[in-house]
Chains A and B, each alone.
Chain A
Amino acid sequence: MSGKPKLYYFNGRGKMESVRWLLAAAGVEFEEEFLETRDQYEKLLQSGFLLFQQVPMVEIDGMKMVQTRAILSYIAAKYNLYGKDLKERALIDMYVGGTDDLMEFISMLPFLSAEDKEKQLAVIVQKATSRYFPAYEKVLKDHGQDFLVGNNFSWADVHLLEAILMVEEKKSDVLSGFPQLQAFKARTSSIPTIKKFLEPGSQRKPVPDDKFVETVRRVLCMYYDVKAN
């Protein structure tokens, strides 16, 4: 056992990507085990390692953690990315809740029917530009600091950068009305641990493709189209 956290998931973004981002931002090396076959998954289920029979699962500090939010919260707190007190934590939790909702629209995309995909893309851009980005733009403008909370780098900043890049992959000029976010993106991308994660060869996963969708469907026996919100 290496002592490094070990991530169990598909070889793709999905719900694990935010965990990869956060560990990377914290400068923590981690290992990954990729689910490729139904057999592997059933073995994992039988092992009792998956508390609610689901992945993501992260082995960390002797725990087999499941539930993405719980995992992220633990990592954030452990590596001092969760604010200095309860109120800062509250702000971080609120901001992360927003970026989470936004990224959820995007992560659903590959699993929607062709006609829903088109509609969903429009929803993503609309929500990003009229609900979420304006909120973070205002936070940054109001306090004029480099980071979202407490003038200190936190989980909220990592999560926001991840969300920005994901939306930009769908619409490259989406930040055009948001000067604060543009500056935020540039600044945060140059933080050494994040810069490293953004370079080729890191454990960052690419935009989900058909192979990823096929693998997820096969392993989870999920052969229906997810319904858009």
Chain B
Amino acid sequence: MSGKPRLTYLNGRGRMEPIRWLLAAAGVEFDEVYLETKEQYDKLIKDGFLLFQQVPLVEIDGMKMVQTRAIMSYIAGKYNLHGKDLKERALIDMYVEGIADLMQMILMFPFSPPDAKEKNLESIKERATNRYFPVFEKVLKQHGQDFLVGNKLSWADVQLMEAILAVEEKLPTVLSGFPQLQVFKNKMSNVPTIKKFLQPGSPRKPPPDAHYVETVLKVFKK
């Protein structure tokens, strides 16, 4: 046993990607086990590893953690990325939950039927530019600090960075009305742990492709 956290998921972004981002930002090395077949997944369930029969699964500090939010909250708490007190934690949680709602749309996108893809992309654009990005633009403008909460790198910054890049992959000019977010993106890209994660060869996964979708459907087939 290496002592490193071990992630069990498919070889792709999905619900595990924000966890990879957070561990990487915290400078924590981790191992990964990739689910490729239904048999592998069924075995995990049979062996009692998955509390609710679902992945993501992260083995960390002797626990078999499931539930993405629980996992991220634990990592954030452990590596001081969850604010200095209850009120900062509340802000971080609010921001993170908002971003998660946006990321959920991106998560589901590859699984939308072909005739719904255009509409869904339009929804992502609308939500990003009218609901979510304006909030963070305003937060950064109002306090003029580099990071969203408490003048310190936190879970909220890492999630926002991930979301910005994910939306940009679909809509390359999406930040054009958001000067603060552009500056934020640059600053975050230069945080050493994040810079490293953004380089080729890191555990960061590529955008989901047809093969990934196929694997998801195969592994989780009822």
| Residues in A lying within 8 Å of B, measured CB to CB | 51-53, 61, 63, 65-70, 73-74, 77-78, 86-87, 89-91, 93-94, 96-98, 101, 131-132, 135
Report yes or no: B97 in contact with A69, Cβ–Cβ below 8 A. yes
Report yes or no: B77 in contact with A89, Cβ–Cβ below 8 A. yes
Report yes or no: A90 in contact with B90, Cβ–Cβ below 8 A. no
Report yes or no: A86 in contact with B74, Cβ–Cβ below 8 A. yes
B residues less than 8 Å from A98 (CB atoms): 51-52, 67
Which B residue's beta carbon lies closest to that of A135?
A: B51
**Knowing A65-B90, A94-B65 touch, does A52 contact B52 (C-beta < 8 A)?**
no
Where chain B touches its partner, the secondary structure class is helix
**Knowing A52-B98, A93-B69 touch, does A87 contact B93 (C-beta < 8 A)?**
no
B residues less than 8 Å from A89 (CB atoms): 73-74, 77
Give the number of residue pairs across the A-B interface with Cβ within 8 Å. 80
Q: For the complex, what is the distance from the CA of A52 to the CA of B136, rounded to whole Å?
A: 10
Report yes or no: A52 in contact with B74, Cβ–Cβ below 8 A. no
Q: For the complex, what is the distance from the CA of A106 to the CA of B200, rounded to whole Å?
A: 43
A residues less than 8 Å from B53 (CB atoms): 131
Interface residues on B, range: 20 to 34
Report yes or no: B90 in contact with A70, Cβ–Cβ below 8 A. yes
* Listed A/B pairs (30) with beta-carbon separation below 8 Å: A52-B101, A63-B87, A65-B90, A66-B94, A66-B98, A67-B93, A67-B97, A67-B98, A70-B90, A70-B97, A73-B73, A73-B90, A74-B86, A74-B89, A74-B93, A86-B77, A87-B61, A89-B73, A90-B63, A90-B65, A90-B73, A93-B70, A93-B74, A94-B67, A97-B68, A97-B69, A98-B52, A131-B52, A131-B53, A132-B52
Task: List 12 extra interface pairs beyond A63-B87, A73-B90, A89-B77, CB under 8 A.
Answer: A51-B135, A61-B87, A73-B89, A73-B93, A77-B86, A90-B63, A90-B70, A93-B70, A94-B67, A97-B69, A98-B67, A135-B51
Where chain A touches its partner, the secondary structure class is helix
**Knowing A52-B132, A69-B97 touch, does A93 contact B73 (C-beta < 8 A)?**
yes
Which B residue's beta carbon lies closest to that of A78?
A: B86
Kindly supply a per-residue 1/0 record for chain B positions 47-61, scoring 1 wherever the CB is within 8 Å of any chain A CB and 0 otherwise: 000011100000001
User: Which of A63, A87, A91 sits near B90, CB closer than 8 Å?
Assistant: A63
Report B106 CB to chain A, min CB distance, Å: 16
Q: For the complex, what is the distance from the CA of A7 to the CA of B94, rounded to whole Å?
A: 16
B residues less than 8 Å from A68 (CB atoms): 97
Report yes or no: A90 in contact with B74, Cβ–Cβ below 8 A. yes
Which A residue's beta carbon lies closest to that of B53?
A: A131
**Knowing A90-B63, A131-B53 touch, does A52 contact B135 (C-beta < 8 A)?**
yes
Q: For the complex, what is the distance from the CA of A61 to the CA of B67, rounded to whole Å?
A: 29
A residues less than 8 Å from B74 (CB atoms): 86, 89-90, 93
Q: For the complex, what is the distance from the CA of A78 to the CA of B67, rounded to whole Å?
A: 23
A residues less than 8 Å from B89 (CB atoms): 73-74, 77
